Amino acid sequence: MILVGVMAATLWGIGALMKAPVRARLIMIGILLCAVLAEQLLLPDGHPLREATGRSPAFWFLLLSFAGVIWLYRKGLSALRARANLAPAPEHVRPSSFSESELDRYARHIILREIGGPGQKALKNARVLVIGAGGLGAPALQYLAAAGVGTIGVIDDDTVENANLQRQVIHTDAMIGQPKVMSAMAAMTAQNPHITVHPYNRRLTAEIAATLFADYDLILDGSDNFETRYLVNRVAAHLAKPLIAGALTQWEGQVSLYDPARGGPCFACVFPTAPDRALVPSCAESGVAGPLPGVIGSIMALEAVKAITGAGEGLCGRLLIWDGLNAETRVITLHRREGCPACSAVQPAR
């Protein structure tokens, strides 16, 4: 083995002196190793040359196999890098400016009196976190991306299932089995390459909620369980982050903006305790009309656009209830609840 090492080092040194490419030197050493393996396999036991190069072909076979694996890995990595370099990169512009492509893309927003150029800049600079990439999150994420919200976070620990595709239209059949956040990110960036998406493929917990929320200006809650809803509300209220929350069942959905820091109630003011599970069955148990999440999720996105740009009258202090079966809409006035454990310590900004 020492003899082979000396020969390999000699070949490498000669190649370096001759300024041969590294690839050529590696090929020469590879040829040497192949020759050593061949003589180990072909020469009889006890042959002096075989004794001088290690006696057994097993070591050289393993060494060549290991070198082959490294070579294949490097080739694959180079191919992936080449594909990445071929993909069109988004234009790099300052947060306060727009490229020509963006100006054309957002023209219908910019000519709206209530949004205009300043409103579109506010959208570009906004950071919005969406809880859940399912029924409500799917349309909300799509429209936030299309509207030009500059940074969008999405947290969900679920994977795409066939049963989701009846209503969670951001996902496709090809994405079945993939994490929902990755599927959503792919769809959002394909639709709008001018935005940044941060996917968090994990469950939202009390341990990470405050740190995560602190990075965003606005929270959208599309979760499907009361435990998460109360957690989201509690942390958003504590950090003075406005929260747009939606919910739905069968044919009916509701949306509100909860913002105690600006005088409105929080989710716990309106719903102090979670209802019995038997009274609020899941979509899997009770069913849901496919377009319903699209309606409610789109309203959530619209309210987000209004909250960011200051357009119109938002749903702070009001609960919008949409009855899809009977085509009826109701709006209920909401108030802060004295002694609410989630938001009573939050003082409205003056």
pLDDT of 34: 74
Position 17 scores a pLDDT of 74
pLDDT along the chain (350 residues), means of 10: 65 68 68 70 69 65 69 63 42 62 94 95 97 96 97 96 94 95 97 96 95 97 94 96 95 96 94 79 80 96 97 95 95 93 82
Task: Decide: 267 and 229 in contact? Cβ < 8 Å.
Answer: yes
Residue 202 in 3-state DSSP? coil
In whole angstroms, give the CA distance from residue 168 to residue 171: 6
Tell me the H-state helices in the chain: 2-17, 22-42, 48-52, 57-86, 100-105, 107-110, 116-125, 137-147, 180-191, 206-213, 226-238, 267-270, 283-286, 292-309
* Cβ atoms of 136 and 165 closer than 8 Å: no
CA distance 247 to 271: 12
The pLDDT of residue 82 is 43
Do 240 and 226 touch, CB atoms closer than 8 A? no
Give the pairing of strands 151-155 and 328-333.
unpaired
Q: Sheet containing 218-221: which strands, arranged edge to edge? A: 196-200, 151-155, 127-131, 218-221, 243-249, 252-258, 318-323, 328-333
How far is CA 63 from each of CA 26, 43, 70, 99, 305, rounded to the nearest angstrom? 14, 19, 11, 53, 60
- Residue of 172, 139, 141, 174 whose CA lies nearest to 155: 141
Comparing CA positions, the residue from 218, 296, 208 lying closest to residue 250 is 296
User: How confident is the model at residue 87, as a pLDDT?
Assistant: 40
Phi, psi of 21 (to 5 degrees): -60, 150
* pTM for the model: 0.71
Model pLDDT, residue 85? 37
- Give 247's contacts (C-beta < 8 A, 6+ positions apart): 136, 229, 253, 254, 296
Identify the residue whose tokens are 């941060």. Answer: 198
End-to-end CA distance of the chain: 81
Q: From CA 127, how far away is CA 40, in angstroms rounded?
A: 65
The half-sphere exposure of 224 on its side-chain side, counting CA atoms within 13 A, is 20
- We find that the CATH architecture of domain 100-333 is 3-Layer(aba) Sandwich (3.40)
DSSP 192: -
For the chain, the domains span: 2-86, 100-333
